[in-house]
Amino acid sequence: AFAVRAEKRLGKPVRCGLVDLRCHGASAQLAGIRPPHDLRSAANDFVQTISVELPEGDTLEGLVGHSLGGKVVLQYLEEIKDCEARRRLLPRSAWVLDSVPAAAAGKLVGDTEEVLASVAAVDLSRHSSPSDVARHFEEALGFSKGVSAWLSTSVVKDGTALRWKFDIAGCRDLFQSYQTADLMPIVRNPPSGTAVHFVKAERSPRLDGDVGEELGRLSDDSSHPLQMHILKDAGHWLHVDQPRRLLELMAGTL
């Protein structure tokens, strides 16, 4: 859907690749995805995938990640910044959507811990369909309709039973890595030729406080390749809340 909107907005063909992070979606079923499940491993998954999928001579116009994926994008830049053989894999722009680049806990990670705990605790054998699971998360557990619907997209039929598409234990490991990793050094000194864009969702606290203030100062420095954007009337799931406004922000770099 994003590629279709982008092509209509830009008036030219747009090729987008949607990658499931390790322990998520189809990647959770791949035999070759082994521990440790951390940001560095996830970033190197990206390196390997893009190395294969990016045609020789083509340019990677943009790399986009939301939440955990945003921090994986920063780790990706860290992994390839000093490797001349990987220079072709550097994106012209890196977009980090409502993700904390420094070590994060408490309100800076929102309800992620609660979501993981609830996913691990739910008994799928008591539910008949993904939509039934969504209702349980919304009505019994009190999650928002959007988060509940999103979680239910990771519930699939396995014969007559339901199962999660993601690896819950692996996702916990990734979340722990997200919390402890400090990638502000690559934010302060990104690879030459890559513009870094942070998008703060107006209603999300993740980029509040000291980290948000530093990002603002870097953005105000005309010599630094970082830009800070605020997406109005959007919560953490900003690509769901305001997809068209998000595309408008990104259109100039595609």
> Which pLDDT tens digit goes with each residue over 209-238?
899 999 999 999 999 999 999 999 999 889
State the pLDDT at residue 107: 62
**In the chain, what percentage of residues exceed pLDDT 70?**
98
Residue-level pLDDT at 105: 75
* 253, 61 contact by CB (below 8 A): yes
pLDDT at 110: 67
Q: If residue 198 lies in a helix (H) or strand (E), which one and from where to where?
A: strand 195-201
Contacts 24+ apart (CB under 8 A), 244-247: 244/5, 246/97, 246/199, 247/2, 247/5, 247/6, 247/9
CB-neighbour burial class of residue 123 (10 A; exposed 0-12, middle 13-18, buried 19+): exposed
| Assigned token pair, 145 | 């309709």
Give the whole-number percent of the chain exceeding pLDDT 90: 69
Bridge partners of 3?
A: none
What average pLDDT does the chain have?
91
Q: Full-prediction pTM beyond 0.85?
A: yes
Place of tokens 């189809």: 26
Q: Residue 62 pairs with which residues in a beta bridge?
A: 93
Does the structure show a pLDDT above 70 at 50? yes
* 209 membership: H or E segment, kind and range: helix 209-220
Average pLDDT over residues 54-72: 93
161-164 and 155-158 as β-strands: parallel, antiparallel, unpaired?
antiparallel
- Banded model confidence at residue 241, pLDDT cuts 50, 70, 90: confident
Instruction: Give the pLDDT confidence score for residue 130 in this predicted structure.
Output: 95
> 141 pLDDT band (50/70/90 cuts)?
very high
Do residues 83 and 183 lie in contact, with contact meaning Cβ atoms separated by under 8 Å? no
pLDDT digits (tens, 9 = 90+) for 160-177: 899 999 999 999 999 999
Give the mean pLDDT of 70-85: 94
* Alpha carbon distances (Å) from 190 to 75, 77, 138, 220, 253: 11, 7, 40, 16, 17
Residue 107 or residue 23, greater confidence: 23
- Residue located via tokens 């309800």: 111
Segment 234-245 shows an average pLDDT of 89
Give 214's Cβ-side CA count (13 Å radius): 9
pLDDT tier, 1 (very low <50, low <70, confident <90, very high otherwise) = low
pLDDT of residue 31: 86
Query: What per-residue confidence (pLDDT) applies to 10?
Result: 78
pLDDT for residue 7 is more than 90:
no
Q: CA separation (Å) from 6 to 113, 248, 250?
A: 33, 9, 9
Compute φ and ψ for 230, nearest 5 degrees.
Answer: -115, 125
Please compute, for residue 12, the number of CA atoms within 13 A of its CA located in the half-sphere on the CB side.
4
Which pLDDT score, from 0 to 100, does residue 91 have?
95
Q: Is the peptide bond before 225 cis (omega within 30 degrees of 0)?
A: no
Please list the residues that pair with 65 across neighbouring strands. Answer: 96
Using DSSP bridges, classify how beta strands 62-66 and 93-97 pair: parallel, antiparallel or unpaired.
Answer: parallel
Rounded to 10 degrees, the C-alpha dihedral 110/111/117/120 comes to -110
Q: Is the dihedral of CA 26, 32, 38, 43 positive or negative?
A: negative
Tokens of 18: 């949607």
d(CA 37, CA 44): 11
Range among 11-15, 55-59, 99-103 with highest mean pLDDT value: 99-103
Mean pLDDT of 178-183: 96
